[in-house]
Structure 1
């Protein structure tokens, strides 16, 4: 399979602090990739550089064979990237439906928007909350709304930063099923601390530690990797 996203020697320094160092990452079309590591490992900084919200200190980002290192975030959305972040960014005064419609209109016009909104809300289980103000949703439901906003864009690459944070067990199970349903259609890059979710949904796992790639492999390989166990899994995965 060809690579949809590739980074080469991607690095970011903040006032002398090395947040990300020489990261090479290749995501193949249709795969679900989990990005894990201890707090402060550089995961969100790496995703910020992939999305175009953070300028790298050095290195390159390519999308579908095109160098996009200097491309601003909104142009990357136009190429087919969608992302959610740890801090929710919904429009609190707009309804759930209107939030998703705004996202859908980035790629659709006219009557197609309504069907895209309905489908995205159904996928995350929020169709019955469509008329509510987004600001009245619980934190977990706002996370699901953000995922629906991403899905409504029919992205080629969906990037999710801690999507199960604040979700109930039932909502996490639904999310796991949702990602499984996207496999093969949408490439997914997932930052996640819930290791049960990682083992259930990921095709491959990349482990960051101190801004560098510590290991990469299948969930089984990562689970059995002693260096990963020492750095991360022994304290966080049980």
Structure 2
């Protein structure tokens, strides 16, 4: 079943198209990686999906409903959670309190406590649960943000550069986390670390210049000449 799709999705800024007529389909239960060189339009594209930006043209459909004009908070209520490329935590609150705030959007009472503790454990922050979020290392802030997304019990979890700032050991743990999360949510992963992409994604979509350049399995993308030329062989990949 297709959970998310876009048709002719475009976004222009002062006449410059950042995303150009993108058709995209994401089946439920899949881990999809979205890759491309810097400036390819990846963050703009997912911002259109989650409602942070309004498209210039085209449509976004989620679970069979046209959500193109819905604001971001209504998309969250429908089950779309987006973790930002720049962390968006509440720095003065503890890690536990941050996750609890996210959980309270959908749960009450004892359910909140149960979900918060399970989420903290799942993202590997159990030993830092009471630490002030602003004092966490950058990589741990990224994990906290993922936990805040998970606490919303999303049907679609969009992760924007989640391994940025993580150590090698934390990246290995993150790979396991993503595999575990696939049982609970469909995942759209925007990621520059190609080892992470190749190890976790069922399918990869490649944006270049705001257009969809290629889609396929990790093996197909690795062997795609156009992708190699546009992205995989570049120093900024």
Superposition TM-score, scaled by structure 2 size: 0.98
Tell me the alpha carbon deviations over residues 131-185 of structure 1, each in whole angstroms, 9 at most, x when there is no partner. 1110000111100000010111111000000000000011111110011112243
Q: How does 1:95-134 map to 2 (within 5 A)?
A: 95-134=94-133
**Other-structure match for 1:57:** 56
Corresponding position of 2:201: 202
Give the aligned partner of residue 24 of structure 1.
Answer: 23
Give the equivalent residue in structure 1 for 2:177.
178
User: Structure 1 residue 35 and structure 2 residue 34: aligned?
Assistant: yes
CA distance in 2, matches of 1:81, 1:112: 20
Q: Residues 6 and 25 of structure 1 are in contact (CA less than 8 Å); yes or no, is this contact kept in structure 2?
A: yes
- The Cα of 1:237 is off from its aligned counterpart by 8.8
The separation in 2 between residues aligned to 1:95 and 1:125, in whole angstroms, is 15
Shift of 1:236: 4.8
CA contact (8 A) 1:31 1:184 kept: no
Alignment of 1:145-160 (within 5 A): 145-160=144-159
Whole-Å Cα distance in 2 between the matches of residues 98 and 235 of structure 1? 41
RMSD over aligned Cα atoms: 1.0
**Aligned pairs, how many?**
237
The alignment partner of 1:160 has SS state of strand
- Please give the alpha-carbon distance, in whole angstroms, between the structure 1 residues aligned to 2:223 and 2:97: 45
2: CA distance, partners of 1:120 / 1:235: 37
In structure 2, distance between residues paired with 1:213 and 1:118: 40
Q: Residue deviations 1:78-119, cap 9 Å, x none?
A: 000111111111000011100000001111100011110111
The answer to whether the 8 A contact 1:106-1:153 is kept is yes
User: Is it true that 1:3 corresponds to 2:2 in the alignment?
Assistant: yes
Unaligned 5+ segments in structure 1 are none
What is the TM-score normalised by the length of structure 1? 0.98
Structure 2: distance between partners of 1:176 and 1:84: 17
In the TM superposition, residue 208 of structure 1 has moved relative to its aligned partner by 0.2
8 Å Cα contact 1:29/1:184 also seen in 2:
no
Tell me if the contact between 2:103 and 2:152 (Cα under 8 Å) persists in the aligned partners: yes
Q: What is the distance in 2 between the residues matched to 1:96 and 1:156?
A: 23
